[in-house]
Structure 1
Amino acid sequence: MSQVVRLSDVAKAAGVSQGTASNVFNRPDIVRKEVRERVEAAARALGYSGPDPRGRLLRAGKVNAIGVATAEPLSYFFDDPYARVLMTGISRACDLQGAGISLVSAANEEKLAWNIQSAIVDGFVLLCIEGGTRLVELTRERKLPFVALGLEHDDETISMIGIDDHAGAHTVAAYVADLGHRHFAILSLQLVDGHVGRVDDAAIAAAIYKSSRERIEGYRAALAERGIDPSTVPVFETENDRTSVMAALTELFDSAGPPTALLAMSDRIALFALDWLAERGIAVPAEVSVVGFDGVPESAYSEPPLTTVSQPIEEIGRMAVELIFDDAKETRRLSVPVDLTIRQSAAPPPADRA
């Protein structure tokens, strides 16, 4: 095995002290030119590329970088429209701070633990879409500041930024019901890992993802207030992907009495639904109304433009970065407002089904 070349080896070969050799790499302006050239020549001859920057950064106490961590694959940051807007907010806030970004992700828990432990950052923004509890556990071990987004359980010791999922879902369901709809279906984000398809009340009550459960409860509350029995509203759990959404829609519309309104728990689900309905020749909103949740940019340019619950996604990213660099010792728990964005994907139902 080849021997690791250290700074002390370079100093010895150049006939200088280790402190002088260190200055050549870290503060070259204070070293005489001939000494600097001699040390650099010795380093090249020995194959020494310079001090490990990680050690220097850690000794300084700050590395001026934010880690953005999720248990999803790295492709999530680029494929998911919500994640893309969030990263825009995070990157712009980091630009203002002159800070870098490290994306921390892994497809399995073993690699996730290693990536969290080895990331050279000043703090973490945790995208708790999935595996949020484990993300928090691993990050706490680093003893660095962190902010959780979308954490699925209430822990008053964790700084987090979130929205009122129940209120947002209630608002959009009330709007659609007030248009005259009485036949609904809910296209849900995951309630538990590894399951898709129709779910019953017991599965909803046992959901491990709090935001999914709260959105269902918000939809149902608004419908019940308007005389619609929630037990008549089918709920289909999806993986927020095209395959599971299309499977749900096939089951819904191949049955007798399909819905006239779809309550999609994300804009991504709603956009997949619009594609599927267009392929089937089902007119939106003349035959079926579709509404989403999130307010991603793509929702404004769909055909037709999507009515949705809009979150200030980019602002959430900016706030998260500011909390990390704020160095506040106390726990911060912030709730940001959502708005109903009304576009052309929802209208009164066909007269014969009102």
Structure 2
Amino acid sequence: MASSTESNTRPIRLADIAKAAGVSHGTASNVFSRPEIVREEVRERVKAAAEALGYAGPDPKGRLLRAGKVNAIGVATTEPLAYFFDDPFARAMMAGISEACDATGAGIALVSAGNQEKLAWNIQSALVDGFILFCIEGGPRLVELTRERKLPFVALELGSEDDTVSAIGVDNVVGARMAARHLAELGHRRFAVLSLALADGRTGLVTPEQVRSAVYTGTRDRYAGYFEELSRFGVDTASVPVFETENDEAGTRAGLETVFASAEPPTAILAMSDRIAMIAIEWLKARGLSVPGDVSIVGFDGVPDAALCDPALTTIAQPIAEIGRRAARTILDFDGTVRRETLGVELVVRASSGPPPKTA
């Protein structure tokens, strides 16, 4: 029989939680590993028992890993797992992260989920030493869940006003100004903006009030940079349509159909990502519009694909791979310091931008 001292000091086990909640061991295990198959009232009862007993969840590292690092980085997003492979920005970022990990022999775990409960479980169970957060959508939730792991993490977005969060990114205002200035100096005065998400789960034309209340400050900063620069050239920014997309084909096409239904369609498009810009080029060409003869387009990111599309895309290039390398090193060489880095951007002029048509 174990002494009272031993029983008071031994770790709380899943069996203890199951007993306290009045469920089987298998059911208690499913609450933490496969919550979607357990009824909500049972999940809540098990979680309440776990909290009362001070049980934080299964130890993902296990007994053999408690003493040291696992030499792996988690790369997390609320997007579907396919995002890492389909999105050109994500692919370029992963190349930089992989390069830094290869240099030290570290592994990479991709963390995503189709719902909030699975995301929470995936972050809690990932065998990693820290996380790189793709704060595309659901950024605040990613930060919240990662904090609970008490592991180092770095966000690939500087928009958070919380200076306790390590972050690496670019000055979005400066980059957006460059893009708008380039097109305005070419002579364009009729613009449209195809925007990244300002808030989760929303697409369509946006108002200035919606911009000011944006969840994603990176998007808000690009909007501010565009309009500050356009105002300097006498453009009535109140008349410039801004269409919010989810950085996808459906939203981009819907935005183009909306802005080109106008009696005076734009001669210049400011796209907040290269992906949006490249979708726009294909949409315009399919409708017999010349790029840049009828419509000029400037993207934002500098993904490798941008140089290969037809016509090659003018864009604001950020050092994507270098951001990935620095983010990885922030986790691999973590020393307890919060690091917030802003890297430079540059305008890369290619064939998708030119003067407006003479009839405009």
Q: For the superposition of Structure 1 and Structure 2, which TM-score range results when normalised by the shorter chain? A: 0.7 to 0.9
Write the distance in 2 (CA, Å) between the matches of 1:220 and 1:258. 18
Deviations 1:213-257 (A, max 9, x none): 110110000000111111111101111111111111112212201
CA contact (8 A) 2:203 2:246 kept: yes
Write the distance in 1 (CA, Å) between the matches of 2:258 and 2:77. 32
Give the unaligned 5+ runs of structure 2: 1-58
Aligned to 2:190: 183
Aligned to 2:330: 323
Write the distance in 1 (CA, Å) between the matches of 2:64 and 2:225. 47
Aligned to 2:10: none
TM-score, length of structure 1 as denominator length:
0.83
Give the residue type in structure 2 aligned to 1:335. T
Write the distance in 2 (CA, Å) between the matches of 1:297 and 1:75. 19
Cα deviation for residue 262 of structure 1 reads: 0.3
Aligned to 2:232: 225
CA contact (8 A) 1:133 1:152 kept: no
Aligned to 1:253: 260
Cα deviation for residue 328 of structure 1 reads: 1.6
CA contact (8 A) 1:149 1:161 kept: yes
Write the distance in 2 (CA, Å) between the matches of 1:57 and 1:294. 42
Aligned to 1:48: none
Aligned to 2:155: 148
Write the distance in 2 (CA, Å) between the matches of 1:136 and 1:252. 35
Write the distance in 2 (CA, Å) between the matches of 1:64 and 1:350. 56
Deviations 1:185-205 (A, max 9, x none): 000011111211111111111
Deviations 1:300-327 (A, max 9, x none): 0111100000011011110011111212
Q: Are positions 1:301 and 2:295 aligned together?
A: no
Aligned residue for 1:258, secondary structure, equals coil
CA contact (8 A) 2:60 2:127 kept: no
Cα deviation for residue 173 of structure 1 reads: 0.5
Number of residues of Structure 1 aligned to a counterpart in Structure 2: 302
Aligned to 1:65: 72
CA contact (8 A) 1:204 1:213 kept: yes
Q: Are positions 1:274 and 2:292 aligned together?
A: no
Give the unaligned 5+ runs of structure 1: 1-51
Aligned to 1:216: 223
Cα deviation for residue 83 of structure 1 reads: 0.3
**Cα pair distance change 1:206/1:249, threshold 3 Å:** same
Write the distance in 1 (CA, Å) between the matches of 2:266 and 2:149. 49
Aligned residue for 1:154, secondary structure, equals coil
2:89 corresponds, among 77, 82, 85, to: 82
Write the distance in 2 (CA, Å) between the matches of 1:128 and 1:160. 10
CA contact (8 A) 1:267 1:296 kept: yes
**Cα pair distance change 1:97/1:56, threshold 3 Å:** farther
Write the distance in 2 (CA, Å) between the matches of 1:62 and 1:194. 37
Root mean square deviation of aligned Cα = 1.4
CA contact (8 A) 2:317 2:348 kept: yes
Cα deviation for residue 56 of structure 1 reads: 5.1
Q: Are positions 1:94 and 2:101 aligned together?
A: yes
Which portions of structure 1, spanning 4 or more consecutive aligned residues, are displaced by more than 4 angstroms?
Answer: none
Write the distance in 2 (CA, Å) between the matches of 1:250 and 1:330. 48
Cα deviation for residue 153 of structure 1 reads: 2.2
